[in-house]
Structure 1
Amino acid sequence: MMDKMKLPAVPPSTPSLILAIETSCDETSVAVVEDGRIIRSNIISSQIETHKKFGGVVPEVASRQHVESITWIIEEAVEKAGIRLQDVDAVAVTQGPGLVGSLLVGLVAGKALAFSLGLPLIAVHHIAGHIYANRFVQELEYPSLALVVSGGHTELVVLEGPGQFRIIGRTRDDAVGEAYDKVARALGLPYPGGPHLDRLALAADGAVQLPRAWLEPDSYDFSFSGLKSAVLAALNTARMKGLDLAADHVARGFQDSVIDVVTEKAMRAAKQFGAKQLLLAGGVAANKGLRESLTERCRQSRLPLVVPPLELCTDNAAMIAAAAHLKWERGEFAPMTLKAEAVLSLEEWSVKS
């Protein structure tokens, strides 16, 4: 667990301006957020076009582009927020998880700002940020359940109170976003593959039948490597027979399998843990098929579903500021010896009760 600097808690009624920096992967983002709820600015610079030619994110290239972008993005975020740097109350930065080279760029920039301005530094867990992006939609109620679906994570997380996380299920192999990209690559679709597969699946008039990985009857864990292998096997079998499977039918079969499993497990967990809300979080939260499935199931169960707007599903600094506000209220600040962590426990990051 990271060493924390504990200062007197800030009264919740005190207005705050948090400048947050997010550089965990291939988006460079800086935001200014007021009181953890009001986005004054949220500047995002994507590297998709750079990495597209490689078919995925190249860590060394990503970190170099963060270095080239971070200074002007900080300046633009401050200008768009209509403030001066001297008006900021705290600096928040993604500590992890993520690509360590990318994390270091944001961490060094955040430390430099906090030190030069004499401000507290707040370390944020990337997934906590994704979950608390939902707070920009409506106030969260507890206990709630978060379904985290992204390129690197697939988890079911119970929120027992503000910033109190308990992971009850996670992927045992590929994350769902990773599986989407691998299947898209097999179909010859461009990177990132998730949005292309989603569009194909929704337009398809048929589906290749593929297995569902339910695992043990009482398990909330996930597994997608077998499904990915089943897609590759179906494509190879068809080619050996001189046939071509329709890409949209493969996409539909794959997406139906993914959505059936994650939706069913999320609904079962929400009932078992008495969740007052189901929170969708992570880059794959932008998937239209998944949103429609969860909306219908939650409607049937009369369970409120909270989903971030599309621009807050992918990596951004506003979500980091939203999670940082939990630490700000309790005076849980990080020391200047803070290190980037490629692997970081969400449960250990939880705020102190």
Structure 2
Amino acid sequence: MNILAIDTSCDDTCISILKVKNQKSKTIEFNILSNIVSSQIKVHQKYGGVYPFLAKREHQKNLMPVLKQALKKAKLLKLSKSQKPDIDIIAVTIGPGLDPCLWMGVNFAKALSYFWQVPIIPVNHIEGHLLANLLPQIVFPAVCLVVSGGHTQLILMRKIGDYKIIGETRDDAAGECFDKTARILGLGYPGGPAIAALAESFKFQDSRFK
């Protein structure tokens, strides 16, 4: 079974194709045939953060080229536009994320589903982060730390679909703190890599920290 996965939850246009084997057994196998990401960092850099409607416009431009690249790398691209590639299911992020961006991915998935006559699976962005770290062997219960964009949470996973938030930030998420700190320090966007690079080069002068 081949799954085409689409994510436009923020400013990256992402399409991946996975081959799934032994899905009815305990030894399920996942093979990533392609994973194409079109970044918008340069587009948003001068603003110091992501502008949702600007990101939406970029998704609109990038989705079709990214799809073609993903199919080509997976060796599933057909010469004729009327030929359906060997895709069995389309998975698409439905949230959380930036609404204008999410709708671009959802509508694109709907169009492909109609044209190729394949089903759609809606995917929760955060659940995707949780499960990706546990594949292919998932052992429950598990406690997961999610530090993604606007989310900083500790989540108890009892089983797939059964989650409980047991702790989270009371104000800004870690990712937002990095970006805001970098903006104050004049380090540019995105803040995380810039702050990480400075931290790597920093030398402690106080012997207590050696």
TM-score (norm 2): 0.86
**1:86 shift after superposition:** 3.4
**1:206 shift after superposition:** 3.5
Contact kept? 1:37, 1:135, Cα under 8 Å: no
**1:207 shift after superposition:** 8.7
* Matches of 1:71 and 1:185, distance apart in 2: 33
Change beyond 3 A, Cα 1:68–1:159: same
Structure 2 residue matching 1:87: 3-state secondary structure? coil
Give matches, 1:70-219, under 5 Å: 70-84=63-77, 85-136=84-135, 138-206=136-204
Task: Name the larger-Rg structure.
Answer: 1
Q: Structure 1 segments of 4 or more deviating over 6 A?
A: none
2:19 alignment partner, one of 34, 43, 51: 34
Structure with greater contact order relative to length (CA < 8 Å, sep ≥ 6): 1
**1:47 shift after superposition:** 0.1
**1:193 shift after superposition:** 0.8
Q: Which amino acid in the other structure matches residue 118 of structure 2? A: L
Contact kept? 1:89, 1:120, Cα under 8 Å: yes
* Matches of 1:97 and 1:162, distance apart in 2: 18
Question: Aligned residue for 1:52?
Answer: 45
Question: Aligned residue for 2:2?
Answer: 17
Unpaired segments ≥5 residues, structure 1? 1-15, 209-353
Structure with the higher fraction of residues in helix conformation: 1
* Matches of 2:144 and 2:134, distance apart in 1: 12
* Matches of 1:146 and 1:163, distance apart in 2: 14
Deviations 1:159-206 (A, max 9, x none): 111343221111221000100111111111010011111222233233
**1:148 shift after superposition:** 0.4
TM-score (norm 1): 0.52
Q: Which amino acid in the other structure matches residue 122 of structure 2? A: A
Structure 2 residue matching 1:39: 3-state secondary structure? strand
* Matches of 1:39 and 1:164, distance apart in 2: 26
Over the matched positions of the two proteins, sequence identity in percent amounts to: 45
* Matches of 1:47 and 1:157, distance apart in 2: 30
| Superposition RMSD in Å | 1.9
* Matches of 1:82 and 1:101, distance apart in 2: 31
Structure with the higher fraction of residues in strand conformation: 2
Deviations 1:95-124 (A, max 9, x none): 011111111110000001111211111000
Deviations 1:250-289 (A, max 9, x none): xxxxxxxxxxxxxxxxxxxxxxxxxxxxxxxxxxxxxxxx
* Matches of 1:28 and 1:87, distance apart in 2: 22
Question: Aligned residue for 1:237?
Answer: none
Structure 2 residue matching 1:101: 3-state secondary structure? helix
Q: Which amino acid in the other structure matches residue 31 of structure 1? A: S
Deviations 1:4-50 (A, max 9, x none): xxxxxxxxxxxx21101100110001111112721011110000011
